[in-house]
Amino acid sequence: MHSVRVMFFTITDEVKNQLKECFTYWNGRTVNELATELMYDDTKTAMNHNVFTVGNYYFNGVGHISVDYERVLKNGFSGIIKDAENALANLDKGCPDSIEKTHFLNAVIITSKAAIRYSERFAVLAEKMAAEERDMKRAQELRVIAANCRKVPANPAENFYEALQSFWFVQAIIQIESNGHSISPHAF
């Protein structure tokens, strides 16, 4: 006979009140509420009658994408930022698509900078762990990890380990954004 261990999750009244404030703030501002608001009435009627659902897209990324890992490996996110900034500077503001292109290019810059900051946080953590590590071999491995994280994915990968680290960051970031939904590496 197996025994069952029951685990309890408790939160303080202070945390409960903070959560209630968050819920109040997000009421009417969630992605699914915005998306539903933008739908045609016929679409909402079809959804309400279970003709189809878009629930997956409310709570996860769309997934089923093919990422240009090679571009990150060859140019780094700094190169991608530079390309986007150049495209912004050369954008024909008289073109009807310029507003949409501007928003897209600004999003590329913002997310690329975020990816760089994300890797820098790992570098800081690896350096901290190396400083506290008693095993010299492991401490050296952590320093190499920190150096790799400081270099990639911000910059082009120049060796196998940097390429692996850069690839891992891209994959991890996509998994975080898409809530682990339908994202798989593909061949170049």
Over residues 23-34, the pLDDT tens digits come to: 899 888 887 888
Q: Enter the pTM of the model.
A: 0.72
Beta strand extents in 37-116 (DSSP E only): none
How far, in Å, CA of 83 to CA of 144, rounded?
Answer: 29
- For the cut 60, the answer to whether the pLDDT of residue 109 exceeds it is yes
List C-alpha distances in Å: 87 to 81, 93, 135, 157, 181.
10, 12, 48, 24, 31
Over residues 48-61, the pLDDT tens digits come to: 999 988 876 776 66
Supply 5's token pair.
Answer: 């261990």
Q: What is the DSSP letter of 24?
A: H
- Please report the pLDDT score of residue 2 as a whole number: 66
Q: How many CB atoms lie within 10 A of CB 187?
A: 5
